[in-house]
């Protein structure tokens, strides 16, 4: 039984090229294509898709937005992000939302087919050259989370306000505590998250989504 594939990319030539490439494989069948996120979600209502090749940069609704909606709807379609972005932040966001595969568009045809067969079988396929970047980022994130877990509720409150640019006196007024107490909290925060100054603390808070910027 062939693997039903949908191709979602805003470039017609990319879609047509992938269709020609994949349909040379007798076990793969392209059952639909879409040029933007809205078309993609509409397509999923009409056809049965086993594996979707999804671009990130698209008009109307980007690939990560589409993926988020799919997962919120409990759509279990396997999704391989196929993109030009090799930045680890894009990869990390895609992993957080729930991808099954992540590949760059300069990948070879054999590697793409390998990814399709892998995710169809229930595996996660990250292009090998991207794995070290992801593993390093996840390790750093785990270390950050341990540091956050060591902070008290009050220290997190102080860190958030500090990251918003407030001085100790302003933080004290906002939290209705003494400026001396704020100073002690700031000192403890610096030690627990291993930073040397307020700027580094603010970067830590933003990086870990403790405040919205």
**125 vs 114: CA distance, rounded Å:** 9
pTM over 0.75: no
Long-range contacts at 144-150 (CB < 8 A, ≥ 24 apart): 144/193, 144/204, 144/207, 144/208, 145/208, 147/192, 147/193, 147/194, 147/204, 148/193, 148/208, 148/210, 150/192
Mean pLDDT confidence for 84-89:
76
Asked if residue 35 lies in contact with residue 10, where contact means CB atoms within 8 angstroms, the answer is yes
Q: Say what the pLDDT of residue 89 is.
A: 76
Q: What is the pLDDT of residues 58-79, one digit of tens each?
A: 988 999 999 999 999 989 899 9
The domains found in the chain, sorted by start residue, are 3-134 (3.40.50.2300), 150-207 (1.10.10.10)
Neighbours of 10 (CB within 10 A): 18
User: Does position 134 have pLDDT exceeding 70, yes or no?
Assistant: no
Q: What is the pLDDT of residues 10-66, one digit of tens each?
A: 999 999 999 999 988 889 999 999 999 999 999 999 999 999 999 988 988 999 999
Q: Say what the pLDDT of residue 152 is.
A: 94
CA separation, residue 96 to residues 31, 82, 93, 151, 168 (Å) = 27, 16, 5, 24, 35
Scored b (16 or more CB within 10 A) or e, 81-111 reads bbbebeebebbbbbbebebbbbbeeeeeeee
**Residue with token string 């030690």:** 191
DSSP 6: E
User: Does position 213 have pLDDT exceeding 60, yes or no?
Assistant: no
**44 vs 207: CA distance, rounded Å:** 34
Q: What is the pLDDT of residues 171-207, one digit of tens each?
A: 999 999 999 999 999 999 999 999 999 988 988 888 7
């Amino acid at each position: 039984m062939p693997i039903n594939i949908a191709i979602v990319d805003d470039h017609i030539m990319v879609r047509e090229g992938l269709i020609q490439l994949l349909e040379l494989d007798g076990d793969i069948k392209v059952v639909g294509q879409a040029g933007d996120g809205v078309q993609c979600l509409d397509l999923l209502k009409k056809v049965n898709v086993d594996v979707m090749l999804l671009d990130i940069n698209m008009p109307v609704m980007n690939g990560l937005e589409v993926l988020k909606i799919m997962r919120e709807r409990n759509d279990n379609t396997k999704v391989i992000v196929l993109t030009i972005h090799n930045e680890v932040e894009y990869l990390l966001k895609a992993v957080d939302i729930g991808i099954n595969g992540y590949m760059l568009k300069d990948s070879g045809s054999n590697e793409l087919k390998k990814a399709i067969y892998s995710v169809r079988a229930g595996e996660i396929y990250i292009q090998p050259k991207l794995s070290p970047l992801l593993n390093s980022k996840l390790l750093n994130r785990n270390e950050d989370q341990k540091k956050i877990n060591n902070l008290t509720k009050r220290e997190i409150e102080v860190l958030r306000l500090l990251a918003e640019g407030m001085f100790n006196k302003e933080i004290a007024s906002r939290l209705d505590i003494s400026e001396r107490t704020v100073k002690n909290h700031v000192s403890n925060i610096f030690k627990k998250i291993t930073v040397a100054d307020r700027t580094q603390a603010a970067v830590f808070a933003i990086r870990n989504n403790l405040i919205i910027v």
